[in-house]
Amino acid sequence: MTTTIPSPTTTTPESFRGRLVDCDAHLHPVPADFPLMLGASFAQRYRELESQRIGLDVIDQMVEQSKSIVLGPDNVWEVKGWASPAAGDARERLKALDLMGIDRQILFPIAFVAALLVSKMEGAAEAARIHNDYILEWSKEAKGRLRPVAMIPTLTVDAALEETRRTLDAGAYAVNIACGRPPGDLSPADPAWDPFWAMLAEADVPALLHIGGEAGFVPRPWGRIPSIDERPSQRGGEALGPYNLVTMHMGAQAFVSAMVLGGVFERHPSLRFGVIELGAQWVGPMADLMDQRVKVKLAGNAPLAESLPLKPSEYLARNVRVTPFFFEPVGTYIDRYGLEDVYVFSTDYPHPEGGRRPIQDSYESLKHLGDAVIEKYMVRNGELLLPPR
């Protein structure tokens, strides 16, 4: 890895208006649409779980509030969750994108929904199929500005291949898989998964990890700390807190490390891969560690570096993109570890943990590195996951 040399900055946050590439956003359908999104049976189970998590009365209040709100430049970053008219309405979402200066964005379900859809819960696979059809239809009018992610359970290779092929044929822009447990009880670098990676590489469609999909990697009892409250936001966000924020990346780190060290990106050099809303502080240390450890010779075996033409950090720079939270000092990460090609901009819209000033906050962290680095972060790097229309 090489560090980045600072250079003069002449751009401003406004320089990117209309060109921003947003690598994380969410669809929030109103409760009445849950059966359309998930199927009647699974939707009822989701309603019960959401009632415990946030409260359906709270959601209903936000939905009612949204009916009297008109989005404008003064409130588009303030009104979040189901309270935003753009939470579940595609035309309103496009208006929000214009107000925020965003050209295009990836569209996930709520992370809680996503976690259920890729889980072992009874009916989850069928609900994932229904969801995938729903979100593809929902986003059609956007003509490539709203790019839906298909949820792909990876309990078996064959099932994953079948649903991936079906959704790719239907127009999915990306697939979302879980990283909390080994896919199909195998390493993601196991040759059995090569047809899956090959299918995505051939279709030029990225595979994505996202918050919620790490469930199971860190057993829940570790985080039951009496002094720490990690409930979800009442405005519709995720259950974040100090412990979650320092452990949430571990499943993704194990997953990506296995792919890099197992040669997935060497065998499939055009495969595009993203790690979304799982923080970014871990990326540099992981790359540094892998670059060092592949040189180690153990038990008389040749170092792994001899069978990997590129350094692990070079595979990351070529194939992987990661979204920092708005409050992370991404400029400091680049100062320490380089990897300026890896980090990408995101809003997490309409979730409150996306922040109120993500463009300005990111710019302030990066401006000492110069125009080229800021341009990469705000636009160019994200094009690996969201190519131009």
Q: What is the pLDDT of residues 171-212, one digit of tens each?
A: 999 999 999 999 999 999 999 999 999 999 999 999 999 998
The candidate with the shortest Cα–Cα distance to 276, out of 23, 3, 49, 32, is 23
* CATH code at position 220: 3.20.20.140
In-domain check, residue 35: no
Q: Highest mean pLDDT range out of 28-32, 214-218, 225-229, 275-279?
A: 275-279
In-domain check, residue 366: yes
What percent of the chain is predicted at pLDDT more than 90?
A: 75
In-domain check, residue 296: yes
Give the chain's mean pLDDT. 92
Whether residue 233 contacts residue 159, with contact meaning beta carbons closer than 8 Å, is answered with no
In-domain check, residue 93: no
Query: Where in the sequence is the domain holding 303, given as residue range(s)?
Result: 13-27+101-384
Beta strand spans in 75-126 (E): 102-109
Whether residue 100 contacts residue 353, with contact meaning beta carbons closer than 8 Å, is answered with no
In-domain check, residue 122: yes
Q: What's the number of domains the chain is made of?
A: 1
Section 10-15 average pLDDT: 94
In-domain check, residue 222: yes
* Region at 348 (left for phi over 0; alpha for psi -120 to 50; beta for the rest): left
In-domain check, residue 327: yes
Q: What is the dihedral of CA 370, 373, 375, 379, to 10 degrees?
A: -160
Q: What is the model's pLDDT at position 224? A: 85
Q: What is the pLDDT of residues 303-342, one digit of tens each?
A: 898 899 999 999 999 999 999 999 999 999 999 999 999 9
Beta strand spans in the chain (E): 20-22, 26-27, 102-109, 146-151, 174-176, 207-210, 273-276, 320-322
In-domain check, residue 71: no
Q: Which is it for strands 20-22 and 174-176: parallel, antiparallel or unpaired?
A: unpaired
Q: What is the pLDDT of residues 357-377, one digit of tens each?
A: 999 999 999 999 999 999 999
pTM across the whole model: 0.94
